[in-house]
């Protein structure tokens, strides 16, 4: 899959990303049509993930903590 993605031209890669985003949005709204709590739950989970990833990168940008010398 990675080889296929790397062989795409920039325009094709952009089209692939936007179509994946549109499919995810359509799926999200179709599920939310049935149960409204999904409209709030999915963005909260995504926002929490982004928050924790950014905090982790800010605290340890290279991924090397001081206590990794155990091995």
CA–CA gap between residue 21 and residue 46 (Å, rounded): 14
What is the Cβ-side half-sphere exposure of residue 67, based on CA atoms within 13 angstroms? 0
Reported as a single tens digit per residue, the pLDDT across 21-64 is 999 999 888 888 888 887 888 889 999 999 999 888 887 766 66
The residues spanned by each domain of the chain are 2-70
Task: Say whether pTM exceeds 0.85.
Answer: no
Question: Does 68 have pLDDT greater than 80?
Answer: no
């Amino acid at each position: 899959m990675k080889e296929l993605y790397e062989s795409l031209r920039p325009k094709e890669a952009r089209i692939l990303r936007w179509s994946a985003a549109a499919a995810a949005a359509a799926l999200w709204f179709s599920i939310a049509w049935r149960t409204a709590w999904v409209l709030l739950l999915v963005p909260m989970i995504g926002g929490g993930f982004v928050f924790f990833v950014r905090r982790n990168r800010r605290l340890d940008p290279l991924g090397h903590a001081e206590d990794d010398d155990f091995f």
